[in-house]
Structure 1
Amino acid sequence: MCTPDIPGTTLFDGVQARKGYALNKMCYSFNSAENRTQFQRDEAAYCARYGLNEEQVRAIGKRDVLGLIAAGGNVYYLAKFAGILGLDVQDLGALQTGMTKDEFKARLQAHAG
């Protein structure tokens, strides 16, 4: 199997999926309003409930999207966490690329075929 080398990109593969299982499971739990409220009440306890490691807890606390991706986060699950913060998938894309949201949207539009 050949994996393309994309500079600056963390590929979500089997290794990353295993690494981020607890993080992604926690983010999936945010489909429930009750779980979102519990997380907002006590982030540390909620992260501990899902068994997040130190790297993941630190990235959650810092709202570090790239750190969460490096820690095994999948953008589709992270979008559920971002929703708690009032962010959408375009906000995540902007954070990943170091652009403003408007710059990111313009880039998407420029590449739309």
Structure 2
Amino acid sequence: MSKQDIHSYLAEFDDIPGTRVYTAKRARKGYQLNQFAMSLMKEENRKRFKENEEAYLDEWDITPEQRKALLARDYNTLLDLGGNIYFLAKVFSTDGLSFVQAVSTMTGMSVEEYQAMMNAGGRSPVGLRSIKEKN
């Protein structure tokens, strides 16, 4: 596969509605963001973050957009900015949210609606399959 072919192939991932594929490009973009999130594995860091989020975030080389999304707990934007959902789980766990509670906020569904959908097998493969083609 040529260099151009790989870029075209990877660009196709951006056409999947409601999905953010964690690519190497996204990993590079979110490296510092994900390092911050992983720091929350330590109790003393969670405590410092909860006491003063702004001051704790000052210690990390994250972009202004990442900072704003973190403070707003805008998980969809954090994913767009290179966040890895498994690292971001440290953020919502610090807030006392379960994975289901946090992810339901990303879908626009209530926790109950999200759980029911997942228990029924997840999102239907029928429907919107392409952002560009709107089908």
User: What TM-score comes out, normalization by structure 1 length?
Assistant: 0.90
CA deviation after TM superposition for structure 1 residue 71, in Å: 1.3
The reply to whether residue 101 of structure 1 matches residue 111 of structure 2 is yes
Q: Residue type matched to 2:70 in 1? A: I
The reply to whether residue 73 of structure 1 matches residue 83 of structure 2 is yes
Instruction: Report 1:29-48 matches (<5 A).
Output: 29-48=39-58
Alignment partners' CA distance in 2, 1:30 and 1:37 = 9
Over the matched positions of the two proteins, sequence identity in percent amounts to 37
The reply to whether residue 89 of structure 1 matches residue 90 of structure 2 is no
CA deviation after TM superposition for structure 1 residue 12, in Å: 1.2
Alignment partners' CA distance in 1, 2:59 and 2:83 = 17
CA deviation after TM superposition for structure 1 residue 18, in Å: 0.7
Moved more, 56-65 or 40-49: 40-49
Which ranges in structure 2 are unaligned for 5 or more consecutive residues? 1-5, 123-135
Which ranges in structure 1 are unaligned for 5 or more consecutive residues? none
CA deviation after TM superposition for structure 1 residue 95, in Å: 1.4
The reply to whether residue 49 of structure 1 matches residue 27 of structure 2 is no
Q: How many residues align?
A: 112
Moved over 4 A (4+): none
| Counterpart for residue 11 of structure 1 | 21
Alignment partners' CA distance in 1, 2:111 and 2:50 = 25
CA deviation after TM superposition for structure 1 residue 63, in Å: 1.2
| Counterpart for residue 125 of structure 2 | none
3-state SS in 1 of match to 2:120 = helix
RMSD: 1.5
| One of 20, 24, 30 as aligned partner of 1:20 | 30
3-state SS in 2 of match to 1:59 = helix
